[in-house]
Structure 1
């Protein structure tokens, strides 16, 4: 046998042209309830690796439960309750671990400041980081951070179109189109149109949105993503029902005491540029520039029982309900720059994971009310026969702005954190952030402050399937945070929130099931009043209060066919000290809209031939609603009863399409979802509703 010389073989070699194979993606494997990576810790991590309590509401959970708004998606988060609008607040307003979170809503890690009702059509998942925002996010509340993670362009063709129809004239259409333009370039656009009634008489919602994005450099060391988000909403504001004898008025759950002339209109435009540079395998630079423009307008009424109502007049329907006008608007414009540098390095036997960042925020805002012209209020109605289309005075539609207050502020905030591995499986971490604000109000008031936020703890991961941690965080809010009121002559320290948390996370069934548990105590000092109507005179709500609690959560797959998402939160919230000059009788009382327990469960099971069934429950304990003022009167809170709401689902899933039937509130339970803290009204949740979704994949 003769062999050719190596050189001769090399000379005869032929280089074939490069062949690029591209295919459409049609993946039958669901993403699951565990969710993907999260950036709530400022770096891309799995929730199991974050040394703090994290809940991820995944895209699969959002879709299977047909949660089309952020509020509906957050029903799956234990320890969270909803506030009803008044006092100037419009849009999403949640309580987490018994504390406000109205200023802790984020979009892709950047503060989403405005008051509006958020959608899920462009969300990949929702990340909830519990505990003080601390150095990760700067100024913030004690309960935690709610971060919306947007859908991003993918390096594969993937297209989905869905149509939904349901009871109460529910109609919705969405499209998610991802297309690869080149080897490293892809574009994605999400579109939504919703026109829906509700199980509440005359309450309607119209929403439309579009979110285009394009990414360059996918799969390379340099990546640039340009994105825009537009959302328009036109809703009927619903202030629910008033109280009678410290309980929600006992009337049918569909009864509406507003008028058909009421409206709530919001416009949101957010443009974002994100640049990512993988400098080394362990070094990464990420820089984001965002411009956001929000406008909002509200014209509605809040129902209040007139004096003299009795059990008899309630029973026969003749009791009078007054309609208190709620008429205000606002606008915000922000520029935000956020740059993070993460790297790993060694000093001797210690391994470091360092984070250095800088955030710059330029804000312009204005808010106003509308003139209350004599006689321009909606006429009263009756408990038993409310007239939603009364004869309104000619001046009712007056839209003259009154009490306009504008605000301009600039914040710069450097931050740093280091996580040090001191021995295999053991890490210590510590971080600090400095927020410096210089703000001017049109009233002539000025606000200047500089405050530190801190985060520290110890993390122990003996294996990839276990994580035990102890964390401490300290955060703050200034007097003028989120323009909630014009600063008064009273000078108080910044609101401080401190959290101690001991937690454990386990990955069971070879990582298919994630389980976490946490015990914590959060203390808040110099708590600010969030009701704009009263805050100008009483900027402080309480001097000190706390919540101690226990949380248990599981998410994932029990078998190839059986999946679940479940959470339990047990809370013991208490007011420890009244504000200076406040009512001492609030001390020892449970804070408003903070139940002793909440729990949630959603589970599905795959049957043969593409069928899937599912169902779940959301439950909250009794909640209180009462005013906190001066004097020494006894505290007699309104009480909102506990509830359980059950949902159900059946789906037929194939490779290119899916048909799903959702039944919301399957047992038609009357329950109260949103609570106005001062006790004026409470808003019922949805009655039984049926929605059919048809989804095509191509």
Structure 2
């Protein structure tokens, strides 16, 4: 981290000294053009191309409608706008040395009309670069599947949580919602942990369930993204993009109400502070009950941001947000005899006083420096604090209904630092074009976990608080024998993880039709020994787990063939690594990482001038270094220690994904998708009986075995599908009327635990697939709009299951309505 900080300081010093160097340079002075593009209702027009006819130089208007050309010789130039579906405009501009000429284009279309035609121009899903890629490469030029869920879909579907948005991303499915306080997603067979979810490009905590109603977009880069982000699992990375400041005054306030006493005011205000500074302030408050008895949520979210344009080439963006989320932990209805219990959808089996309180705060600074039209530097630094205070009963499962209910008391504090440096450039060598990305990143997380006195006093080696009947709701909360016990904080355990990586990537355009993307990353990850602080004595001791260091190279290589401007065919290889616990029997050192190989091929198509996009992807992900318990020790004797391991297992994930996006007629927006995935173990430990003699029993044995090969991995979903259509009437007496419908299919999946060859695991809990349907209707009149939704109109009943105890029913039929005023 020290080296990364030093590099960053050096980069910033070079940036701010650039103007001084420029003044001392002997090169002749040049002029520049600075302009803005607006729609006819005064709103900024983003992503409009502006071309200088005389030299064919091009620029693209930013989100606030601004653009610029620098380093121009004296003379008169013709500027022309270009945007598919819009009327072309031209203006003459005279450039003088050491001066900046100003120009403004007023388009004949309104901002609403621009939104409707955007899909047919630069904003086609295959053409608009995603910030997730760290460089402005259009998805059609990436040999990897990309999907972006924009602000319009988030608003139309009245999404509240990240999970509401992710239902639109095919290939990504909810695997479980453990305790209803932690959404767990799977992509391409791999669980997306905290390392795979980002906010504005930096790792973020998902412990409080991120707020989605105020997001600008959610970007998903499917498959391996280790080249850009280091130690992430192979399924996907998800980037939540918050809304940015604007140099135009405006905003909106809204009120959302829904079933089970849900009330949620939301506000969004933005505008200029001065000519060079703009702000934005977004916030929401949510208070709601639930279809689950005794379950409540209370959330506060604020997201301030400030943009300072130091010069035409340099700007700084400061972003912060804070989420306070209090939610009743709820482990659903549990299992009896390794099957879903017969309790009703609303039945609450936790204690009446259970609580889960989280506070998440982030602060991020982003420096963007444009050296010239070809080279740019981005420096990002951020910090995040996450605190969780939790007290609840857990794990409701039993064989016959009799449940030894245990309590968990915990408090964790996590502090994470993140920094990135990315240099991007366009250049040519021997007539071949390159889009180059060179970067380095690092982060450090420190987690302090509190250890409390045990609130469970009954039982033998396995303690519990009381005993109830899981099939008898009357026994769950009896005031006389189930009160909240007092607990005392005894220890704080500090665990630190350091990550650092450097990477280089090049998109090489061999011809207009053939392109190659190649890159490599080196990642270093260090996990020191934990430190345990005993509060009573203030003594520090070290944990028993040894220092662990993982180092790995992550290459990526892709071929892209574009026979037409609207079609891109690609094939690629990439890998990532995952860390392993335990001791390697071959080296007597901590296990190294598993290297996971991904092979992907696909085709991306734009039809009807970009009004319809259809992308198809096929992939295979193989882990031929899956760590398993070693059967034999180094001396050849049988091994019964599960901590001694070797790379003898294999897994494989195969799948297909289809993405469809369409805006075929004005006012209509349609997205749909389908995915298939088969994730399983292909090679595991055989059923083996190992002698483990003891003085008391010299004939004692231990049976070890792996998971049954071919069985679908618990948590993964076989098929998913989604479709969402919204249409807004553009003309006539019904102008402003909006109608929408959405359907979401979650296929068959396995709960419980995967079956081992010895038959000693608790076993699979098969869960059938289900489909939910939502209907929406709304109306916009001038600055006011109202939008209502009925979700799960068929009142479908199904469950998300975490292992064999957190069995959470899906939400029943509900309504939500949002009233909005824009200014």
TM-score by length of 2: 0.75
CA deviation map 1:515-555 (0-9, x unaligned) = 211011112345589xxxxx996999993211111111112
Native 8 Å contact 1:242 1:249 kept in 2: yes
Give the structure 1 partner of residue 807 of structure 2: 682
**Residue 596 (str. 1) matches residue 723 (str. 2):** no
**Residue 92 (str. 1) matches residue 183 (str. 2):** yes
Q: Relative to 1, partners in 2 of residues 1:251 and 1:629: Cα closer, same or farther, differing over 3 Å?
A: closer
The separation in 2 between residues aligned to 1:268 and 1:462, in whole angstroms, is 48
How far is the alpha carbon of 1:176 from its aligned partner?
0.8
The separation in 2 between residues aligned to 1:355 and 1:106, in whole angstroms, is 20
Give the structure 1 partner of residue 273 of structure 2: 181
Native 8 Å contact 1:171 1:194 kept in 2: yes
The separation in 1 between residues aligned to 2:812 and 2:377, in whole angstroms, is 49
Give the structure 2 partner of residue 472 of structure 1: 573
The separation in 2 between residues aligned to 1:260 and 1:584, in whole angstroms, is 40
**Residue 694 (str. 1) matches residue 819 (str. 2):** yes
Give the structure 2 partner of residue 499 of structure 1: 598
Native 8 Å contact 2:141 2:568 kept in 1: yes
| Runs of 5+ unmatched residues, structure 1 | 1-16, 310-318, 482-487, 530-534
Look up the SS of the partner of 1:510 in the other structure: helix
**Residue 119 (str. 1) matches residue 211 (str. 2):** yes
Matches within 5 A, 1:1-16: none
Question: Relative contact order (C-alpha < 8 Å, sep 6+): which is higher?
Answer: 1
Native 8 Å contact 1:427 1:459 kept in 2: yes
Larger Cα-atom Rg: 2
**Residue 340 (str. 1) matches residue 433 (str. 2):** no
**Residue 361 (str. 1) matches residue 487 (str. 2):** no
The separation in 2 between residues aligned to 1:290 and 1:536, in whole angstroms, is 39
Matches within 5 A, 1:527-546: 543-546=649-652
Q: Relative to 1, partners in 2 of residues 1:77 and 1:20: Cα closer, same or farther, differing over 3 Å?
A: closer
Matches within 5 A, 1:85-164: 91-102=182-193, 103-113=195-205, 115-164=207-256
The separation in 2 between residues aligned to 1:477 and 1:680, in whole angstroms, is 27
Give the structure 2 partner of residue 613 of structure 1: 739
Native 8 Å contact 2:353 2:484 kept in 1: no
Q: Relative to 1, partners in 2 of residues 1:38 and 1:257: Cα closer, same or farther, differing over 3 Å?
A: same
Q: Relative to 1, partners in 2 of residues 1:305 and 1:215: Cα closer, same or farther, differing over 3 Å?
A: closer
Worse-matched range after superposition: 73-82 or 229-238? 73-82
Native 8 Å contact 2:728 2:735 kept in 1: no
The separation in 1 between residues aligned to 2:366 and 2:453, in whole angstroms, is 43
CA deviation map 1:638-680 (0-9, x unaligned) = 11221111111001123312101111111111111x321x322
Give the structure 2 partner of residue 643 of structure 1: 770
Give the structure 2 partner of residue 298 of structure 1: 390
**Residue 572 (str. 1) matches residue 572 (str. 2):** no
CA deviation map 1:553-581 (0-9, x unaligned) = 11231211432111100122221122698
Native 8 Å contact 1:135 1:454 kept in 2: yes
How far is the alpha carbon of 1:263 from its aligned partner?
1.2
Look up the SS of the partner of 2:613 in the other structure: strand
Look up the SS of the partner of 2:735 in the other structure: helix
The separation in 1 between residues aligned to 2:671 and 2:646, in whole angstroms, is 38
How far is the alpha carbon of 1:354 from its aligned partner?
0.9
The separation in 2 between residues aligned to 1:600 and 1:389, in whole angstroms, is 40
Worse-matched range after superposition: 507-516 or 683-692? 507-516
Native 8 Å contact 1:562 1:605 kept in 2: yes
**Residue 439 (str. 1) matches residue 527 (str. 2):** yes
How far is the alpha carbon of 1:416 from its aligned partner?
0.6
Give the structure 1 partner of residue 631 of structure 2: none
How far is the alpha carbon of 1:83 from its aligned partner?
3.6
Look up the SS of the partner of 2:484 in the other structure: helix
CA deviation map 1:314-369 (0-9, x unaligned) = xxxxx445534343332211111101000011110221111110112222112245
Q: Relative to 1, partners in 2 of residues 1:542 and 1:556: Cα closer, same or farther, differing over 3 Å?
A: farther
How far is the alpha carbon of 1:193 from its aligned partner?
0.3
How far is the alpha carbon of 1:206 from its aligned partner?
0.9
**Residue 584 (str. 1) matches residue 672 (str. 2):** no
Aligned length: 657
The separation in 2 between residues aligned to 1:295 and 1:527, in whole angstroms, is 33
TM-score by length of 1: 0.87
Q: Relative to 1, partners in 2 of residues 1:381 and 1:496: Cα closer, same or farther, differing over 3 Å?
A: same
**Residue 664 (str. 1) matches residue 791 (str. 2):** yes
CA deviation map 1:183-208 (0-9, x unaligned) = 33210011110001121111111110
Matches within 5 A, 1:206-245: 206-217=298-309, 220-244=312-336
Look up the SS of the partner of 2:133 in the other structure: coil
Give the structure 2 partner of residue 323 of structure 1: 405
CA deviation map 1:4-23 (0-9, x unaligned) = xxxxxxxxxxxxx9999999
Q: Relative to 1, partners in 2 of residues 1:22 and 1:612: Cα closer, same or farther, differing over 3 Å?
A: closer
CA deviation map 1:192-249 (0-9, x unaligned) = 1000112111111111011111101188211111111111100011211223455422
The separation in 2 between residues aligned to 1:135 and 1:227, in whole angstroms, is 26
The separation in 2 between residues aligned to 1:683 and 1:500, in whole angstroms, is 35
| Runs of 5+ unmatched residues, structure 2 | 1-100, 459-463, 532-542, 629-640, 689-703
Give the structure 1 partner of residue 112 of structure 2: 28
Q: Relative to 1, partners in 2 of residues 1:493 and 1:577: Cα closer, same or farther, differing over 3 Å?
A: farther
Native 8 Å contact 1:258 1:323 kept in 2: no
Look up the SS of the partner of 1:423 in the other structure: coil
Over the aligned positions, Cα root-mean-square deviation in angstroms equals: 3.1
Native 8 Å contact 1:523 1:547 kept in 2: yes
Worse-matched range after superposition: 635-644 or 346-355? 635-644
The separation in 2 between residues aligned to 1:113 and 1:526, in whole angstroms, is 29
The separation in 1 between residues aligned to 2:275 and 2:466, in whole angstroms, is 61
Native 8 Å contact 2:777 2:787 kept in 1: yes
The separation in 2 between residues aligned to 1:19 and 1:424, in whole angstroms, is 33
Native 8 Å contact 1:28 1:655 kept in 2: no
Q: Relative to 1, partners in 2 of residues 1:158 and 1:233: Cα closer, same or farther, differing over 3 Å?
A: same
